[in-house]
């Protein structure tokens, strides 16, 4: 028998993990009910794929990357990652190490939560710096226009010199980057470092320094010029946030109050003025976001029925799977996932729950649901404590009797089958109500919803957009509708 460290690591196509003893793993977990011949067939295919990867995937021609990635900074990033993962790069040219270009994708949200219901920023649908709605949310006919806008903005940024920056190995940038990586443990430190480096280059092209705090007029001019180029107010706010964080760090790290009282005083005054700019930008960003969304809703002229179209289209198959599950008929993975995605979509589109409520709902919260009698029949209320929103109240889900039966079938029939594929050491899996086919907790309900909608060829729409459409519909057709009606 070959020593453990000499075995070829191969990939399991069922759980997407790599094992040196794949046969043993398949026997115990992913194919424990399969025949020996089937297991050997899967093992042989995995070995063949591993050898093919070693022969064809380990060596990457840099000229191929040049054809795929036009910007040098993008090639620097991908080459760095490939080399970290032990790939071999041939025909590599000498590359100047620069930070990635700033592509701000942080979305600004001002939620309007009300009792029992919460809104959140959808992680899968961030705000682009192009001042356009995201590709995932936009209809196909708008995507070409988005691309043109993004390219035009980058060209304008480059022509005005806003992509010029200092090297990240220069002090005090290197010192601050080390702080972000080791102390704050930021995964996206390169984006913030890029913001600061570009700002410091604008303030002084010769070297990065804290002398920028002595020139608030030039700082204001920097943000005005970025705005003139076409960057969104949210992107400008992100730039400003990075600069403030950098100045605060330098003040503390270098003990300016003791070592240089004059610079300390100037830096504090500089930060106060940045706060004034930040306050103005935040208001403008909010107006920009809501104005854009309002215009999008008007232009699309969507109705509440359009929002739940995915549920309508997928309904017949869902009910077939429901009947089969009730009859204890074996369900394929595809059918089980269809059932899971439908329930996620039901909670987000019909019940207007934010993705984090769906993700964080627990088994205990399901089991302690309360039955309430209404004039139209029974309803079942679930309270979800953990959700990433501005609301402090528990998010509540009020299910109709039929919907409660669907959820119960998932809990008793489908979820236990998913659990068979999970890692027994992961306690979180047992706690979360919604889990995927590998037995792990669902990672991003928004992505699940997007896949579900694409599969059924319906326009992509999330819970936030659905809420906005319903709010506008209520205001349009009911003069007495209160602002929080759909919460």
List pLDDT tens digits, range 28-55.
Answer: 888 887 888 888 888 888 888 888 887 7
- Nearest one of 384, 355, 359 to 369, comparing CA atoms: 384
Please report whether residue 103 resides in a domain.
no
DSSP per residue, 214-257: G-HHHHHHHHHHHHHHT--HHHHHHHHHHHHHHHHHHHHHTTHH
CA dist., res. 75 & res. 37, Å (int): 44
Number of domains the chain is built from? 3
Same-domain status, 257 and 162 = yes
Same-domain status, 281 and 413 = no
Give the pLDDT confidence of 6-21 residue by residue, as tens digits: 678 888 888 888 888 8
CA dist., res. 477 & res. 471, Å (int): 10
What residue has token string 């309508």?
312
- Nearest one of 189, 200, 157, 136 to 71, comparing CA atoms: 157
Please report whether residue 261 resides in a domain.
yes
Give the pLDDT of residue 472. 75
Task: Please tell me the pTM assigned to this model.
Answer: 0.44
Greater confidence (456 vs 122) lies with 456
Radius of gyration of the chain (CA): 27
What residue has token string 């424990």?
32
Same-domain status, 324 and 440 = yes
User: Which CATH number is 413's domain given?
Assistant: 1.10.443
Same-domain status, 159 and 205 = yes
Same-domain status, 323 and 271 = no
What integer is the mean pLDDT of 305-312?
88
Check whether the bond before 363 is cis (ω within 30° of 0).
no
C-beta of residue 249 within 8 angstroms of C-beta of residue 179: yes
Same-domain status, 276 and 407 = no
C-beta of residue 325 within 8 angstroms of C-beta of residue 395: no
DSSP per residue, 359-418: HH-BHHHHHT-EEEEETTEEEEEEEE----SS--SPEEEEEEHHHHHHHHHIIIIIHHHH
Give the pLDDT confidence of 340-398 residue by residue, as tens digits: 999 999 999 999 898 989 998 999 999 999 999 888 788 999 988 876 655 556 788 99
The last residue of one of the domains, among 90, 111, 128, is 90
CA distances from 238 to 74, 179, 329 (A): 21, 19, 53
CA dist., res. 355 & res. 210, Å (int): 42
Q: To 10 degrees, what angle do helices 309-326 and 445-455 make?
A: 100
Please report whether residue 463 resides in a domain.
yes
Strand partners for 370: 381
Please report whether residue 361 resides in a domain.
yes
**Domain of residue 470, residue span:** 304-477
Residue 88: pLDDT over 60: yes
Same-domain status, 283 and 308 = no
Give the pLDDT confidence of 181-209 residue by residue, as tens digits: 777 777 668 788 888 888 888 888 888 88
Give the pLDDT of residue 136. 37
Task: For the chain, give the mean pLDDT.
Answer: 77
Q: Which string of b and e fits 328-365 if b means at least 16 CB within 10 Å?
A: eeebeeebbbbbbbbbbbbbbbbbbbbbbbbbbbbeeb
Please report whether residue 129 resides in a domain.
no
Same-domain status, 254 and 311 = no
The backbone torsions φ and ψ at residue 475, rounded to the nearest 5 degrees and listed phi first, read -65, -30
Same-domain status, 147 and 279 = yes
CA dist., res. 70 & res. 316, Å (int): 46
The last residue of one of the domains, among 300, 333, 366, is 300
Please report whether residue 95 resides in a domain.
no
Please report whether residue 30 resides in a domain.
yes
Please report whether residue 448 resides in a domain.
yes
DSSP per residue, 61-115: EHHHHHHH--SHHHHHHHHHHHHHTT-EEESPPP----PPP----PPP-----BT
Give the pLDDT confidence of 196-249 residue by residue, as tens digits: 888 888 888 888 888 888 888 988 888 888 888 888 878 888 888 888 888 888
Same-domain status, 293 and 413 = no
Give the pLDDT of residue 324. 92
- Supply the DSSP symbol for 267: H
Write out the two tokens for 62.
């840099």
Same-domain status, 212 and 247 = yes
Could you tell me how far CA 123 lies from the centroid of its own chain?
4
Greater confidence (96 vs 401) lies with 401
The last residue of one of the domains, among 65, 90, 115, is 90
Same-domain status, 295 and 376 = no
CA distances from 164 to 170, 190, 332, 374, 439 (A): 15, 15, 54, 65, 47
């Amino acid at each position: 028998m070959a020593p453990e460290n000499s075995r070829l690591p191969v990939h399991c196509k069922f759980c997407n993990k790599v094992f040196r003893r794949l046969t043993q793993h398949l026997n115990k977990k992913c194919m424990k009910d399969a025949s020996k011949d089937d297991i050997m067939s899967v093992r042989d295919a995995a070995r063949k794929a591993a050898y093919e990867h070693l022969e064809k995937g380990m060596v990457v021609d840099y000229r191929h990357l040049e054809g795929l990635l036009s910007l040098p900074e993008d090639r620097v990033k991908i080459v760095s990652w490939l080399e970290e993962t032990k790939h071999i790069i041939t025909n590599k040219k000498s590359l100047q190490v620069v930070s990635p270009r700033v592509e701000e994708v942080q979305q600004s949200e001002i939620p309007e939560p009300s009792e029992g219901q919460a809104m959140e920023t959808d992680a899968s649908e961030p705000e682009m710096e192009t001042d356009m709605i995201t590709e995932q949310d936009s209809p196909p006919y708008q995507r070409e226009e988005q691309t043109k806008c993004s390219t035009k903005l980058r060209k304008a940024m480059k022509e005005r010199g806003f992509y010029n920056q200092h090297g990240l190995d220069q002090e005090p940038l290197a010192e601050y980057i080390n702080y972000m990586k080791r102390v704050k443990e930021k995964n996206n430190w390169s984006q913030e470092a890029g913001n600061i480096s570009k700002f410091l280059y604008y303030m002084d092209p010769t070297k990065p320094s804290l002398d920028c705090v002595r020139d608030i007029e030039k700082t204001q001019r920097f943000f005005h010029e970025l705005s003139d180029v076409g960057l969104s107010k949210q992107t400008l706010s992100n730039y400003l946030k990075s600069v403030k964080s950098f100045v605060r760090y330098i003040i503390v790290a270098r003990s300016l109050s003791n070592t240089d009282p004059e610079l300390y005083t100037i830096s504090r005054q500089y930060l106060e003025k940045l706060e004034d700019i930040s306050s103005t930008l935040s208001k403008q960003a909010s107006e920009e976001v809501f104005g854009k969304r309002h215009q999008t809703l008007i232009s699309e002229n969507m109705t509440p029925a359009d929002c739940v179209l995915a549920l309508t289209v997928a309904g017949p198959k869902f009910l077939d799977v429901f009947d089969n599950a009730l009859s204890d008929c074996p369900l394929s993975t595809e059918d089980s996932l269809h059932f899971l995605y439908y329930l996620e979509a039901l909670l987000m589109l019909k019940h207007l729950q934010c993705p984090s409520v769906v993700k964080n709902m627990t088994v205990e919260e399901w089991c302690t649901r309360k039955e309430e009698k209404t004039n139209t029949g029974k309803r079942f209320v679930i309270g979800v404590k953990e959700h990433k929103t501005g609301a402090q109240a528990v998010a509540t889900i009020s299910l109709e009797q039929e919907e409660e039966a669907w959820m119960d079938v998932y809990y008793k029939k489908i979820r236990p089958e998913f659990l068979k594929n999970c890692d027994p050491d992961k306690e979180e899996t047992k706690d979360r109500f919604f889990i995927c086919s590998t037995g792990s907790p669902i990672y991003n309900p928004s992505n699940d919803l997007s896949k579900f909608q694409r599969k059924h060829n319906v326009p992509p729409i999330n819970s936030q957009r659905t809420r906005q459409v319903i709010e506008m519909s209520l205001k349009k057709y009911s003069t007495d509708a209160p602002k929080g009606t759909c919460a």
